[in-house]
Amino acid sequence: MKRDHRGSGGARRGAGRTGGPPRRRAKRAAGARDVALQILLAAESRSAYSDRLLETRLREAGLSSSDSALVTALVQGTLRNRASLDHHLAAFTNGGFERLPAPIRAALRLGAYQIMFLTRVPDSAAVDESVELAKTYGHPGTAGIVNAVLRRFARGDRAPLPDAAADLAGNLAVLHSHPRWLVERWLKHYGAEEATRLLASDNVEPSVSVRANAHRVTPNALAAALRAEGHETSPGPNGGPVLVVERGYVASRSPLFRGGSLSLQDEAESAVVMVLDPKPGERALDLCAAPGGKSSQIAERVAPGGSVVALERHASRARALRENLVHRLRLPGVSVVCGDGRNPPLVRPFDRVLVDAPCTGLGTLRRRADARWRKEERSIAEMAALQGALLDAAGPLTRPGGVLVYSVCSLEPEETDEIVDMFLRAHPEFTRENARPFLPPGFAAEEPVLRAFPHRHGTDGVFAARLRRR
């Protein structure tokens, strides 16, 4: 039996009629679908990433837990499936979909997503709520379009997909809702079968994993404390130092998180620090530190007696980093420095240096729902130039005999192997070391680097290489 999951949007029923004047949304109390539409509009304008918009708008809207969960599902699901939804919507609007006002496109996407993907929402509720949104943000004509198009969806009408035999990239781009340029790139690198699995994995809701603050609690004690908060956990599937928390865990509402007992961290991201392998008493540098998950893990491992410098370019992010590492987690031996990693304001070399470089983030598309629509293929070359400069700057800051680890949350060759190869050619004082002995068993492969895939490991897509200065 379907479950009505309409949230507070149902309170608006009857507030407007087709034929009436547009409403001023600033004077209305926003329901769940209204909040979702506003976030979709902001994400489309690229004013902010959807995950940050969700965090701030949900806090401001004061919605119930169930409505907050509905907003999150609507925003992330609609963004992930945007190409698929637009394919059908374009066919049902006779090619006029892109000419509709942005709020009407968003109302159509929200309604179509609920009908196609959310079994708990009755089709009639999805249609009615989107029509109400169209009345609010548009005029009677656009509300009529929304009503007519979504009723076709509700009847089961769908536009045919591109023929896979004639146009495999076009078929996969619609079916799995990715930019065509990215589908073509992954087909070239991985072949049809593996590329299809990778594309599909980006549309799976990622798990929430946490790592215990070693200064405060053991993993077993953290699991027990989370159970007391009402959340069961399981070990990381690849043997890493994380606990996977069951669905529904919201860190900002957890006393354990607010009290500094844990950090949110993907299992593959935690494996990067294992490749670095910091030891008690050592000095370490995290050259691109924000938001601080890896800095905190390093700080826990260099204690007692060690220290970490967490460098961050942007002042606001450096303040947030200090709040997280020093005040929330209360980690000893941590210094937060604001500066550009390409020209770091540091002189004395370190025992361990991590360059977790800014990247396209193409390994984290399941977690950042709108990122796939923000990236262009030229972004890869732009990021590669920055990554090479950061790694060059990190070389002199690694002491002779010290370890330098380069990592990104992308799997594109230009951002991974090619950066490392270029660095080693320019810096013969460094040599590549085998990362396998340091990796959790689930990540250990034949090659000497960490290369985690969403569809193989159930984690973010992450690359890390371990280098040592002679």
pLDDT at 6: 40
CA of 75: how far to CAs of 36, 96, 131, 423, in Å? 6, 23, 18, 40
Axis crossing angle, helix 82-92 with helix 102-117, rounded to the nearest 10: 110
Q: Write down the mean pLDDT value for the chain.
A: 91
| Average pLDDT of the segment spanning 180-192 | 98
The two structure tokens encoding residue 402: 């010290």
> What DSSP letter does each residue of 413-430 carry, written as one string?
GGGTHHHHHHHHHH-TTE
Q: Which domains does the chain have, with CATH numbers?
A: 32-155 (1.10.940.10), 174-202 (no CATH), 208-264 (3.30.70.1170), 267-469 (3.40.50.150)
Q: Which of 341, 297, 303, 336 is nearest to 317 (CA)?
A: 336
Long-range contacts of 422-426 (CB under 8 A, 24+ apart): 422/388, 423/388, 423/391, 423/392, 423/395, 423/467, 424/467, 426/392
338 catalytic? Reply is: no
Q: Tell which wins on pLDDT, 214 or 17.
A: 214
Q: Which of 311, 409, 411, 419 is catalytic?
A: 409
Residue 367 pLDDT greater than 60, yes or no:
yes
**376 or 49, greater pLDDT:** 376
Which residues make up each annotated binding site for S-adenosyl-L-methionine?
A: 288-294, 312, 340, 356
For residue 19, the model assigns a pLDDT of 32
CA distance 324 to 119: 39
Q: Give the model's pLDDT for residue 81.
A: 96
Mean pLDDT of 266-282: 98
Coil, strand, or helix at residue 178?
coil
- The Cα 458–Cα 30 span in angstroms is 36
Q: Name the residue among 397, 444, 450, 441 with its Cα closest to residue 420.
A: 450
* pLDDT band at 251; cut points 50, 70, 90: confident
Determine the pLDDT at residue 1: 33
CA distance 284 to 281: 10
Sheet containing strand 208-212, strands side by side: 233-235, 243-245, 208-212, 262-264
Residue 8 has pLDDT above 70, yes or no: no
- The mean per-residue pLDDT over the stretch 244-270 comes to 91
For residues 466 and 250, the model is more confident at: 466
Query: Does the pLDDT value for residue 457 go beyond 60?
Result: yes
Closest CA to 289 of 326, 257, 259, 260: 326
- pLDDT-derived band of residue 27, with 50, 70 and 90 as boundaries? very low
- 11 secondary structure, DSSP code: G
% pLDDT > 70, the chain: 93
Per-residue pLDDT, 30 = 63
* pLDDT tops 80 at residue 167: yes
Tell me what pLDDT residue 430 has.
98
pLDDT surpasses 50 at 308: yes
- Report how far apart, in Å, the C-alpha atoms of 256 and of each of 193, 247, 329 are: 42, 17, 11
Q: Please provide the size of the chain in residues.
A: 470
In this predicted model, what pLDDT tens digit does every residue of 141-155 receive, in sequence order?
Answer: 899 999 999 999 999
Q: What b/e sequence results for 402-430 when a residue is b if at least 16 CB atoms lie within 10 Å of its CB, and e otherwise?
A: bbbbbbbbbbbeebbbebbeebbeebeeb
- Residue whose entry in the numeric block shows the structure tokens 């007992």: 261
Q: SS3 for 402?
A: strand
